[in-house]
Amino acid sequence: MHRAPTKRLLGYAMTSETQTFESYRPLLFSIAYRMLGSAMEAEDMVQEAYLRYEKADEPIEYPKAYLTTIVTRLCLDHLKSAKTQREQYIGTWLPEPILTGGLTDLPGESMIQQESITLAFLVLLENLSPMERAIFVLRDVFDYRYAEIADIIGKNEANCRRYYHRAKQFLSERRPRFEPSSDEQTRLVEGFLHALTNGDVESLTDMLVEDAVFYGDGGGKVKAVGQPLIGQKAVIRFLTGIFRLYEPGMRVEISEVNGAPALLLWKDDKLYFVMSFNVVDGKFTDIRNMLNPDKLAFVEKQVLSSE
């Protein structure tokens, strides 16, 4: 996984402070990524936290609490400043995908941590206010106590509880059904790719729920569907059209993205899209296709750094 420069990476001896920071880097990145929906922005927040930690005038007695506080507050400030940018985004906004399943050191083995990294859940988090999102992530995903959260965000415990329960109610009413990644899902995606490349409309129809939805995010940088496509026929017609445009040298791989199998379209070392799926009862309910090259850069770096 790509890491921002530290003294160790620049060739200097790693200090005890740097070692301490590195031990918390995965946690800090995980919090920031869930809050921002962007891996590149999350890395920036983590790197800024490192710089502030390194410049602290006095030894930090509780580095985990200190660093979590810095990252959370940086993310809150960033979300407030990014509000206008998100509102002016061209087309559908989707979170920035990341590779999981061995190529990243994101912590988390519990069901809620697995669910909270899915693209469908990250999209849902976008509907919360920055404060609601921060409190929900800290409380529900990383199991921080209300007293700890109050210190981190600078609110009293009663306010933190209100923010949390409001966020919890909103998400409980709207959260998609979650099924952990499995070999069955991988086989389903493999069958989907085989049906697409062979133009097998009948098989594709069997794999999609009747009201399946397809989302595309080009961010105005590349051509993508402007509005979500709804229904089997519309989705299949569009997808089969995409795969007819294959160029020589292109290849499609199946990798785990945000905790679930996804399709990655490559030409040499250039990533053209990441197509992810939401699966319920063995069928695709939602398909999300990330084409914005700015949002694919992190996955490219993950793959190149693992080789």
pLDDT for 10 equals 40
- 95: pLDDT confidence band, cut at 50, 70 and 90? very high
Q: What pLDDT does residue 11 have?
A: 42
pLDDT in tens, 6-42: 333 344 446 777 889 999 999 999 999 999 999 999 9
Helix (H, G, I), strand (E, B) or coil at 3: coil
207 C-beta neighbours (distance < 10 Å), count: 21
b/e code 62-82 from CB counts within 10 Å (16+ = b)? ebeebbbbbbbbbbbebbeeb
The C-alpha angle 254, 258, 263, rounded to 5 degrees, equals 20
Domains of the chain: which residue ranges?
16-173, 183-306
How many degrees, rounded to 5, is the angle at CA 118 between CA 112 and CA 120? Answer: 110
Percent of the chain with pLDDT over 90: 69
CATH fold match for the domains 16-173 and 183-306: no
In this predicted structure, the answer to whether residue 304 has a pLDDT above a threshold of 90 is no
The model's pLDDT over 237-288, given as tens digits with 9 standing for 90+, comes to 999 988 877 777 899 999 999 999 999 999 888 999 999 999 999 999 999 9
- At 198-227, the pLDDT tens digits run 989 999 999 999 999 999 999 999 999 989
**Residue 11 CB-density burial (10 A; 0-12 exposed, 13-18 middle, 19+ buried):** exposed
Q: Are 231 and 205 in contact (CB under 8 A)?
A: no
So what's the pLDDT on residue 249? 84
Strand-pair category, 270-280 with 260-267: antiparallel
> For residues 259 and 191, what is the distance between their CA atoms, to the nearest angstrom?
19
Closest CA to 221 of 278, 149, 272, 157: 272
**How far apart are the C-alpha atoms of 253 and 193, rounded to whole Å?**
10
CATH 3.10.450.50 fits 183-306, yes or no: yes
pTM comes to 0.89
Question: Side by side, which strands form the sheet with 260-267?
Answer: 229-230, 208-217, 283-290, 270-280, 260-267, 250-257
Give every CB contact of residue 31 below 8 A, 6+ residues apart in sequence: 68, 71, 72, 75, 137, 138, 142
* 270-280 vs 208-217, strand pairing mode: unpaired
Token digits of residue 275: 């197509």
Q: What's the pLDDT at 194?
A: 94
16-173 CATH: 1.20.140
**Average pLDDT of the residues in 40-55:** 94
Give the burial class of 151: count Cβ atoms within 10 A of its Cβ; 0-12 exposed, 13-18 middle, 19 or more buried.
middle
User: Helix, strand or coil for residue 223?
Assistant: coil
pLDDT digits over 129-152, tens only?
A: 999 999 999 999 999 999 999 999
